[in-house]
């Protein structure tokens, strides 16, 4: 019953997003009538969608979040807070004095800051890692390679060749999609090989970090099969069916509370 209830809630929230995707704000009471639910239930849905960064809700009106408009400031903050919460869970899965591959995702960049509590050797293709807060005994090693903007990631033959000479205890990797069908995927063809090499050269655990928007999604370029992933840290907004599918494949899926 609980699973069916959650499926119904997710389906209703998807319909709410379609209803507000018309460019004009919609009255909350109108949505409640449209979906035959109480105002309290609808407000609970809107609160969750706002925290997910998908709608902007104010003064009894709701509209779809749009990064191009100032009205989206609050919802963008919701996504940022989710990322911070996921990043804060990473240190629990890393052992001090270990070697760690970290890819160039923004979520991994946040996690590097959270890892400042322990000494590590961090090998990364993220140039911005040098800006992170870190433990005084932590070493940060950049892979080298071609710089790709605007992400400021190091990619290409040089980066891959250097990684091939190394091994890590752990790999921390962000992605654009992780699903039963597609495995770990990315939108960036230049980063796919770098990420795949990091995963392949890991001795202990591969830890994937992804917010709810990436879970159950298959992006353009394959990075690794699910068998290569040990832990997925995501949030409690992740699609429940996708989470069950990943757990069935043997992945330890950790959902942090927002």
**70: confidence class by pLDDT, cuts 50, 70, 90:** very low
CA dihedral 128, 177, 163, 228 (to 10 degrees): 140
Of residues 120, 101, 224, the one with CA closest to residue 172: 101
**Does the pLDDT at position 12 exceed 90?**
no
| Averaged confidence pLDDT in the chain | 89
Whether the CB-CB separation of 62 and 35 falls below 8 Å is answered with: no
pTM: 0.77
Choose between 65 and 120: higher pLDDT. 120
How confident is the model at residue 92, as a pLDDT?
Answer: 96
In whole angstroms, give the CA distance from residue 189 to residue 102: 17
Domains located in the chain, CATH noted: 1-62 (1.10.10.10), 76-254 (3.40.50.1360)
Burial bucket for residue 121 (CB in 10 Å: 0-12, 13-18, 19+): middle
**Does the pLDDT at position 67 exceed 50?**
no
Choose between 244 and 29: higher pLDDT. 244
Choose between 257 and 52: higher pLDDT. 257
**87: confidence class by pLDDT, cuts 50, 70, 90:** very high
**Does the pLDDT at position 73 exceed 70?**
no
**142: confidence class by pLDDT, cuts 50, 70, 90:** very high
How confident is the model at residue 75, as a pLDDT?
Answer: 45
Whether the CB-CB separation of 26 and 19 falls below 8 Å is answered with: yes
Choose between 21 and 198: higher pLDDT. 198
Whether the CB-CB separation of 142 and 124 falls below 8 Å is answered with: yes
**Does the pLDDT at position 200 exceed 80?**
yes
Tokens 């159950």 found at: 216
């Amino acid at each position: 019953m609980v699973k069916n209830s959650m499926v119904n809630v997710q389906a209703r929230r998807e319909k709410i997003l379609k209803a507000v995707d018309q460019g004009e704000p919609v009255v909350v009471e109108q949505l409640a009538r449209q979906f035959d639910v109480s105002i309290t239930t609808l407000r609970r849905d809107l609160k969750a969608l706002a925290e997910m960064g998908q709608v902007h809700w104010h003064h009894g009106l709701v509209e779809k979040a749009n990064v191009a408009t100032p009205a989206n400031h609050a919802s963008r903050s919701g996504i940022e807070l989710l990322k911070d919460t996921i990043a804060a869970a990473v240190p629990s899965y890393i052992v001090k004095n270990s070697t760690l591959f970290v890819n160039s995702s923004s979520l991994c960049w946040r996690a590097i800051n959270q890892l400042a509590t322990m000494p590590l050797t961090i090998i990364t293709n993220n140039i911005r890692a040098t800006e992170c807060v870190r433990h005084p005994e932590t070493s940060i090693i950049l892979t080298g390679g071609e710089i790709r903007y605007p992400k400021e990631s190091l990619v290409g033959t040089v980066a891959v060749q250097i990684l091939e000479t190394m091994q890590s205890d752990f790999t921390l990797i962000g992605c654009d999609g992780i699903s039963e069908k597609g495995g770990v995927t990315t939108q960036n063809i230049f980063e796919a090989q770098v990420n795949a090499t990091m995963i392949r050269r890991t001795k202990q655990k591969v830890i994937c970090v992804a917010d709810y928007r990436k879970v159950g999604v298959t992006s353009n370029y394959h990075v690794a099969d699910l068998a290569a992933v040990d832990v997925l840290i995501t949030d409690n907004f992740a699609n429940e069916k996708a989470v069950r599918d990943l757990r069935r494949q043997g992945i330890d899926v950790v959902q942090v509370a927002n």
